[in-house]
């Protein structure tokens, strides 16, 4: 993992990222990657001197399986609580589906690299299914959460119904998939939206980036792609263009 700020660590899995907020002995994770990457997440925690039992909660930006597969594994093994925005709860619990099927990705974005991506993600759980009936809603009140690192939820729906970014210590923003800086299926790097087929509502995704643009922050840590340093408002302008 790389340290983005004091106690804020950024790790990469199979084309998907994880953040760890370390506060004393305790940890909050923001997203936990694919189910098949859970041991990689645990190894990354070990590298910063923490155990999976130290994780007080996994906050998920949204319930797509590249973000919650590892969370479900941590819950199964260690009882780790999993939190989503209330508007994401039905998706997280498996009561509704908002995920593009791999066959549809292949049909609409046919290129050799699409197949490579599908091959990579199939190995870590892309053909599986994750339901988390135990997922809990974040508190309805605004403001910092009573969890290690005191992350602040930033509601930005569109990619999914309850997609939520998190403002972290040191002005780092976990943007999830509302704004990314790269993806195996994208031609470019830098602030951008994911290919439209991945999002439930592309227009809403672009519109609700206002919430990220307004943050007083200096680093964006996306669900896919590298961390980006700069003013969130500039990143949002780039992503929309």
Interacting residue ranges for Zn ion, rule: CB under 5 A: 66, 177, 223
Say how far apart CA 231 and CA 215 lie, in whole Å: 9
Sort strands 172-176 and 219-222 into parallel, antiparallel or unpaired: parallel
Q: Can you tell me the distance from the alpha carbon of 152 to that of 208, in angstroms, rounded to the nearest whole number?
A: 16
The nearer residue to Zn ion, 50 or 62, going by C-beta atoms, is 62
- The pair of structure tokens assigned to 34 is 């694919």
Find out whether 195 and 189 touch, Cβ atoms under 8 Å.
Answer: no
Q: Would you say 44 and 25 are in contact if contact means Cβ atoms under 8 Å apart?
A: no
Give the max Cα distance, the chain: 48
- The angle at the Cα of 173, spanning 169 to 178, to the nearest 5 degrees, equals 160
Three-state DSSP class for residue 238: helix
Nearer to Zn ion, 191 or 223 (CB): 223
Closest approach, Cβ 195 to Zn ion, in A, equals 11
CB 37 within 8 A of CB 65: no
Q: How far is the CB of 215 from Zn ion (least distance, A)?
A: 20
Least distance in angstroms from the C-beta of 177 to Zn ion: 4
Give dist(CA 75, CA 14) in Å, integer: 20
- Coil, strand or helix: which one is 165? strand
Smallest distance, Zn ion to C-beta of residue 224, A = 6
At 226, is the secondary structure helix, strand, or coil?
Answer: coil
Of 88 and 177, which CB lies nearer to Zn ion in the complex structure?
177
Tell me how far, at minimum, the Cβ of 23 lies from Zn ion, in Å: 26
| Cβ distance to Zn ion smaller for residue 20 or 121 | 121
Residue 22 or residue 58: which is nearer to Zn ion going by CB? Answer: 58
The distance of closest approach from Cβ of residue 12 to Zn ion in the complex, given in angstroms and rounded to an integer, is 13
Beta carbon nearer to Zn ion, 94 or 170: 94
């Amino acid at each position: 993992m790389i340290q983005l700020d004091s106690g804020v660590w950024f790790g990469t899995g199979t084309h998907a990222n994880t953040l760890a907020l370390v506060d004393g002995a305790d940890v909050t994770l923001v997203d936990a990657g694919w189910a098949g990457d859970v041991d990689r997440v645990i190894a990354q925690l070990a590298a910063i001197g923490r155990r999976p039992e130290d994780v007080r909660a996994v906050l998920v930006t949204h319930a797509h399986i590249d973000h919650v597969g590892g969370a479900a594994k941590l819950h199964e093994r260690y009882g780790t609580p999993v939190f989503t925005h209330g508007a994401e709860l039905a998706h997280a619990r498996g009561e509704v589906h908002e995920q593009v099927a791999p066959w549809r990705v292949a049909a609409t974005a046919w290129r050799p690299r699409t197949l490579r991506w599908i091959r990579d993600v199939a190995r870590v759980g892309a053909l599986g299914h994750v339901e988390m009936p135990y997922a809990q809603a974040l508190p309805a009140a605004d403001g910092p959460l009573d969890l290690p690192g005191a992350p602040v939820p930033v509601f930005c729906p569109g990619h999914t119904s309850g997609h939520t970014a998190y403002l972290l210590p040191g002005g780092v923003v976990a943007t999830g998939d509302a704004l990314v800086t790269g993806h195996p299926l994208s031609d470019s790097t830098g602030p951008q939206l994911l290919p439209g087929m991945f999002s439930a509502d592309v227009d809403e995704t672009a519109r609700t980036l206002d919430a990220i643009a307004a943050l007083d922050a200096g680093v964006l840590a996306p669900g896919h792609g590298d961390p980006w340093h700069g003013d969130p408002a500039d990143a949002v302008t780039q992503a929309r263009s």
